[in-house]
Chain A
Amino acid sequence: MKCQKCDKQATFHITDLVDGKPNELHLCEECAGAFLAPSPEDANEMLPAMAGLLAQHLAVGETAEDLARLDQRSCPVCGITFLEFRKQGRLGCPHDYVNFAAELEPLLLNIHGETRHVGKVPKYCASGAEQQTQLIRLRREMKEAIAAEEYEQASLLRDQIREIERSREPHGEE
């Protein structure tokens, strides 16, 4: 993660209270030193820079075209676009890691210096990740159908959801 004030690696993570509300700062050592020095004016100056931390992280040298492109392709499961992710810094669903793998890999490399997990593996592997993400998509579509008053469609979707849910009752239950 890069410092919010300059381009160095951020190693200080400070939560500052402003009017009773916490604000997270991610700074390199130098900027953290300046921030921690007793000069509240300096500190206040930095606060607006905190919005869209991850967005800033990647936004260097991008054209409006690049941004428009990032806003076009959305995740078929949760509906988020990569641009939306960048604005809020949080992904929408597990499938985003598959859908946006190409966009995420450079970011992961930057944050972790690696892109591949080598630790713990769940003992009970998902019987099919597709089935899991399908549930997220179906629930979203059902909600949209209800909102659009397409009740017949909504009830079809509900049946599909129930069927998947039934097929995967919690495992390992005695």
Chain B
Amino acid sequence: MDFSQLDLHELAKTSGEWLRGSGPESDIVISSRIRLARNLADFPFISRATDTDRAEIGKILRSRIETLHEQGKFKGHLIYVDVSSLEAVDRLFLVERQLISREHAEAEGARAVLIDQREQTSVMINEEDHLRIQVLKSGLDLSSAWEQINDLDDLIEARVTYAYHDHFGYLTACPTNVGTGLRCSVMVHLPALVLTRQIDKVFRSLQKINLAVRGLYGEGSQAQGDFYQISNQVTLGQSEEELIKKVADVVPVLIDYERKARDFLIRESQETLHDRVSRAYGILRTAQTISSEETMHLLSSLRMGVNLGLIRDVAIPTVNKLFVHTQPAHLQKLTGMELDTSDRNIERAAYLRRHLSGDGAGATHN
């Protein structure tokens, strides 16, 4: 089915399943994601593809995937979005939503994305590779993400010929993705490790076992809101299961460290911690103008406060949603207006007040 502005507007009002905060370990693990990079064997990679090639690749992949959908093999309502024809704000909206990459939003030429309406699966067409399949799950749930993406990959593969080499595996435009073409990442919220200055130690140990660490949107140099994405660096020479296991095995250790740090803070400085999260909550529900950066920072404290039972009248899914809905493009989609930075800051503060403050209490648990 074709995408319309209406779809996008509807999408803006809801939030993806990965934000519902119900998956395993969801107090600390926000989401689990796996993506596969694939290319068609009979076309050049994107950097050498002509406009005709790109159009042809797009047409082939779209029709194959829509056929799967018609046959009931691609579950749920499928939305096709021609990314190249979108306004900048709409492209940014999809980035904030984690449905396309920043590169895909900012590239040029024919490109698209197919999204299932529950926002668990997205398939980018003509990104760095012809095909970037992604599955996103709430909480720590890499095994079901793998099951789901592996099935979808099989289904697509039955209808196209992937570029594959016996020796090098799935061939990708950049040699850093060759082999399995698999990147699995888990987004974790580690405010107590940041507060207790343990985070560097954690990163050092991740580095030793060859895992990479990124911020939430990769936007700005600081990992915003104490969110970190842990992912595999290597894609060649280990099986998909091995690569996933390495990340899956390390996350419980991180969770344990974070919980210990939270226990320590509660034990040693409960008043200071309680003060910190209460002030964060206070600012969020009363501010008249607030930047995206400050919002992320304060929401991070609030989120920890809710998880520790220090704040009892806000639900985690609400906080998760606010992280995404207070981003620049979301605010503009929600208000239906183009807003400059200072107008956004005012609108952001109003949005936060509506969803957190006493006079809008009804909206707190939606």
Task: List chain A positions with a Cβ less than 8 A from chain B.
Answer: 1, 9, 11-17, 21-22, 28-29, 33, 35-36, 43, 54, 77-80, 88-94, 97-98, 101, 104, 107-108, 111-127, 129, 132-133, 135-136, 139-140, 143, 168, 170-174
CA distance A118 to B237 in the complex (A): 6
Q: Which residues of A contact B52 (CB under 8 A)?
A: 143
Known: A22-B106, A29-B204. A123 touches B158 (CB 8 A): yes
Pair B168/A117 contact, Cβ less than 8 Å: yes
Partner of A136, one of B44, B176, B180: B44
Pair B222/A36 contact, Cβ less than 8 Å: yes
Q: B residues 138-179 with Cβ under 8 Å of A?
A: 150, 153-154, 157-171, 173-176, 178-179
For residue B254, give the distance in angstroms from its CB to the closest CB of chain A.
15
CA distance A90 to B172 in the complex (A): 9
CA distance A126 to B13 in the complex (A): 44
Pair A112/B236 contact, Cβ less than 8 Å: yes
Q: Which residues of A contact B213 (CB under 8 A)?
A: 11-13
CA distance A19 to B44 in the complex (A): 32
| B233 at interface by CB-CB < 8 Å | yes
Interface size on B, residues (CB 8 A): 70
For residue A2, give the distance in angstroms from its CB to the closest CB of chain B.
12
Partner of B175, one of A12, A88, A111, A171: A111
Pair A120/B240 contact, Cβ less than 8 Å: yes
Pair A12/B222 contact, Cβ less than 8 Å: no
Q: Which residues of B contact A133 (CB under 8 A)?
A: 41-42
Q: Which residues of B contact A21 (CB under 8 A)?
A: 106
Count A/B pairs, Cβ under 8 Å.
Answer: 193
With A115-B237, A123-B154 already in contact, 9 other A-B pairs whose C-beta atoms are closer than 8 Å: A11-B211, A15-B102, A17-B220, A115-B168, A117-B170, A119-B243, A122-B157, A124-B158, A136-B43
- What are 12 A-B contacts with C-beta separation under 8 Å? A11-B206, A12-B212, A28-B207, A91-B173, A92-B48, A97-B165, A117-B168, A120-B170, A123-B158, A126-B162, A132-B42, A143-B52
For residue B238, give the distance in angstroms from its CB to the closest CB of chain A.
7
Binary flags per residue of B200-215, CB closer than 8 Å to A gives 1, else 0? 1001101100111111
**Which of B43, B167, B175 has the largest number of chain A CB atoms within 10 A?**
B175
Pair A114/B238 contact, Cβ less than 8 Å: yes
